Structure 1
């Protein structure tokens, strides 16, 4: 009697489904990538377009949409292989295209599915990093400068961080830094780069900086919800397989985010007397960011502790230290990405160095030298004190590298762009917003769904509108017309 296992015909290998490909892993990886993509489009497109003043809704949403498209073309053109390909130097990969079917249909470096799946999965991470940087620049960056910034920063900053930390031949990967899903490569990078770019671009108009109310909080929550739920793919996809570790990572992610949200919310109530909805969203984000480098390598109780700290330490840096440190007050970081991503990302990297559990690291990395990955707490408990302190040193070294890398590269990129065009919109453009920048406005608020035509083109034919008089003059004239 034959002992050969019998498979349904749709599971038998063929040319389109080679023997080395795991259909389940491939299906999950494509699903996880799509979930991460939805965090950006439409997630952050909606969140950005809703959390700013109405006059900046179109511009803010478009910065995110443009970055998503531009990153993809750069990614398949050269970015992927600079991040995960052959070494050019010890911290950077060699540029090459990822468009040829021979390359895309072969096994990815993890061996479970085609390289095309890995290219797409890693693209959505690269894209969201640029979109997070945009959060620091909303409401004043020259859109043409942003269009140039995106490919330059992806090429000369993101690829270095990704290769160093995530590529098996990268120097920080070899050193043993634990960055489960992007606490360093994505969140710390975007927080530092966003803050640095905000310094070079300059602040919003004074009126906007002093009063910048969201134009639609309910829609903002819809964007935030897509961001939160999309994190299932963000952290659940990074084992690169359908594994028990992926399940743990997903649960830890949501537990930490919920804890962080509640802690931030209660701190707002205690110190400011009201539960801030925007504050709750900030707490949600800091929890998601903090757990990201640790998601699949810490236990559930550690995820709770990390949520407590991610809901309180970034809250303190944003609500207290921000008002006392001159540099933080000087730089106009629109979405506070320094606090929600740089501070929370660094915190997550440090706490990973404390709470990383050896068995979970073995499940995640599946390499022979897995024992080098051990949190300080477990090193002290098991008598491997030097190994625990070494891991903490590697985590801190990785943080320092990412900070220096992004300050230097982002500054050089901004200075280069400034030689070609202004980084910041003109005062007149800052005063009017979307209408003068894009010739479009977010909402139709006049008559039967028709927008009242107060564009620059209209002013050429109607002297009732004089943009030189400022927005208050425009509002007065609009009111007079409506009453008439």
Structure 2
């Protein structure tokens, strides 16, 4: 019996391609893309002060588009192409059909699918960095920062850890879906860039309420559900390991959110929505490096840790450490991404199950991937310690890489344009930067009788707007 006609190989569906895997990988990539656009676009737009909503959302949208051009122009092959040095690939384009339609370096997929899947990971990373810079970075400086940081930082981390020729990959670092490459990188880079850009206005640092919590929750929901593709696509196949990774992702996230919520209630007496979103994010980040290589009970333990340790550092330790107080990290990406990424990487080194590592890596030397807990249990303590050492090496490399490269990128941009907006623009926000406002109540030419000043305006923050509106009301 032959294959059904829809499964028979042809020129468009070569024999090496698995249609189910390809369909899942494209779906997973789209889910991750939706985390960025519109997910983080509307999360940022709702989570910041009203006068920064457009600017914050637009920083995310710009980064998504900018990275795609860099990615197909040179970034993909610097991350997954031929080796230039032990930590970096040779720059080259990924635009030719002869290259894009052949089998990818992993999985039964065309390279075009791999390029798109890895692009959405590359795109979300600078968008996460933006979370530390909202409310004061010069948009032109941001336009320069994204391609420069992508080229000289992201591609190095991706090649080192994910490319088969990368030195950390050969060392045996486990980073299932980007706990190091994406989240630790963005957390450290965001904190470093925030140091060089400088702080927001004092009144913005003191009071920076979300302008639309419901929109913020909608963005958070897209971020959470999109993580199904984020971690579920990491095996590059529609496999049992992908299913386990998805389940573990949601179990850890729910546990982390609830842990953060309980701590908020215990300390402040109020269930904070913003706090719950932070707990959700730390859970998603923490499980990412080990989603498909740990047991589900371990995912719960990881959620307990990711919901409590960053909560402590953000709400208590942050006020006591001078450096943390000094650097204006707008959305606390250091705590939610850098710290949660470190926790996830270390806990993966402790909880990684050898059998699950075999299912994920499908390589002859799979036995070298073993968590310390299982090393102690099976008498392979040295192998477990070696794995933990590899995880710590990954942490150290990514931290140092992003401190150095982010600093160099910022100092270079500073020679061209200011990193920070001037004081006058900072007072106004979106209207001064983009000539657009978040919420338009009526056209300038329209007049309404018996209208009151909208409560969304803060008289201290927008004196010119309030004065103008009152004058118009008196004329009517």
Normalization by structure 1: what TM-score?
0.94
| In 1: Cα distance, 2:439 partner to 2:207 partner | 20
1:452: Cα distance to partner?
Answer: 8.1
Match of 1:474 among 442, 455, 465: 465
Q: Secondary structure at the match of 1:10?
A: coil
The answer to whether 1:100 aligns with 2:91 is no
1:334 corresponding residue in structure 2: 330
**How much has 1:356 moved relative to structure 2?**
0.2
Aligned 1:429-448 pairs, distance under 5 A: 429-446=425-442
**2: CA distance between counterparts of 1:303 and 1:259?**
9
Q: CA deviation at 1:482?
A: 4.0
Number of the residue aligned with 1:177: 173
The residue aligned with 2:419 is 423
The size of the alignment, in residue pairs, is 462
CA offset at residue 104 of structure 1?
0.2
Report matched runs for 1:112-131 at 5 Å: 112-131=108-127
Large movers: runs of 4+ above 4 Å: none
Among 400, 407, 414, which residue is 1:404 paired with? 400
1:78 correspondence with 2:74: yes
- 8 Å CA contact 1:374–1:391 kept in 2: the answer is yes
1:253-287 deviations in Å (ceiling 9; x for gaps): 00000000000000000001100000000000000
SS at 1:9 equivalent: coil
Partner of 2:293: 297
SS of structure 2 residue aligned to 1:88: strand
Tell me if 1:68 matches 2:64: yes
Contact 1:445-1:452 at 8 Å conserved across structures: no
Aligned partners of 1:111, 1:309: CA distance in 2, in Å? 33
CA RMSD of aligned residues (A): 1.2
Work out the CA distance in 1 between the residues paired with 2:254 and 2:440. 36
Out of 305, 318, 325, the position equivalent to 2:321 is: 325
Give me the whole-angstrom Cα distance separating, in 2, the residues matched to 1:451 and 1:424: 31
Map of 1:43-442 to 2, 5 A cutoff? 43-442=39-438
Deviations 1:58-85 (A, max 9, x none): 1000000000000000000000000000
Aligned-partner Cα distance in 2 for 1:451–1:72: 38
User: Is this contact kept in 1: 2:107–2:237, CA < 8 A?
Assistant: no
Q: Secondary structure at the match of 2:84?
A: strand
In the TM superposition, residue 169 of structure 1 has moved relative to its aligned partner by: 0.6
**1:205 Cα deviation after fit:** 1.0
Work out the CA distance in 1 between the residues paired with 2:433 and 2:230: 33
Normalising by the residue count of structure 2, what TM-score does the alignment of the two structures yield? 0.96
Task: Please tell me whether the aligned partners of residues 231 and 288 of structure 2 are also in contact (alpha carbons under 8 angstroms).
Answer: yes
Secondary structure, counterpart of 2:290 in structure 1: coil
Q: CA deviation at 1:17?
A: 0.4
How far did residue 341 of structure 1 move?
Answer: 0.1
Instruction: Give the Cα–Cα distance (whole angstroms) in 1 for the partners of residues 2 and 246 of structure 2.
Output: 33
Distance in 2, Cα, partners of 1:112 & 1:266: 45
Secondary structure of the residue aligned to 2:289 is coil
Distance in 2 (alpha carbons) for counterparts of 1:429 and 1:276: 31
8 Å Cα contact 1:104-1:114 kept in structure 2? yes
Shift of 1:477: 3.1
Q: How far off is 1:478 after superposition? A: 2.6
Q: C-alpha distance in 1, partners of 2:57/2:461?
A: 24
Structure 1 residues 470 and 366: CA distance shift in structure 2, 3 A? closer
Whether the 8 Å CA contact 1:20–1:111 is kept in 2: the answer is no
Which whole-Å CA distance do the structure 2 matches of 1:474 and 1:114 have between them?
Answer: 55
Paired residue secondary structure (1:293): helix
The answer for unaligned runs of 5 or more in structure 2 is: 447-459
Once the two structures are superposed, the pairs formed by residues 446-457 of structure 1 within 5 Å of their partners are 446=442, 450=443
